[in-house]
Amino acid sequence: MMFWQGFDVDVNVLIMMIQQIEKNVPNHGDVAEKIAGHIESFWAPAMRTQLYNYVSTHRSEFGFEIQQAIDLLHAKAKA
C-alpha cells in the first residue's frame, strides 16, 4: 500500500482508476496514448510505478489499451 497526499492508495484503487480512465477516453485515435498522457499528467510517479509493477506481472487481467498505456509510460520513464 502507498501513502499519497494523505490517503492510503492500494493497487486495487489504482486499477479501478485506470479502468475508469480507459472507459472515459474517446475511442478515436490512439487510446493507449491518451490513457498514458492522462496518467503521466495527473498521477504521482510513485503511483505510476506501483501500477506498472502490478500490470507487468498480471498482464492477462488487462485489456490491450491498458497494457499499451503502461508500456508507453514505462518506456518514457526509462528514456
Check pLDDT > 70 for residue 1: no
- Report which of residues 78 and 15 the model is more confident about: 15
pLDDT for res 54: 93
**HSE-up (13 A, CA, CB side) for residue 41:** 7
Check pLDDT > 90 for residue 5: no
Assign 74 to helix, strand or coil. Answer: helix
The whole-model pTM stands at 0.83
pLDDT digits (tens, 9 = 90+) for 10-66: 899 999 999 999 999 988 889 999 999 999 999 988 899 889 999 999 999 999 999
Q: Which residues are paired to 55 by β-bridges?
A: none
Assign 58 to helix, strand or coil. Answer: coil
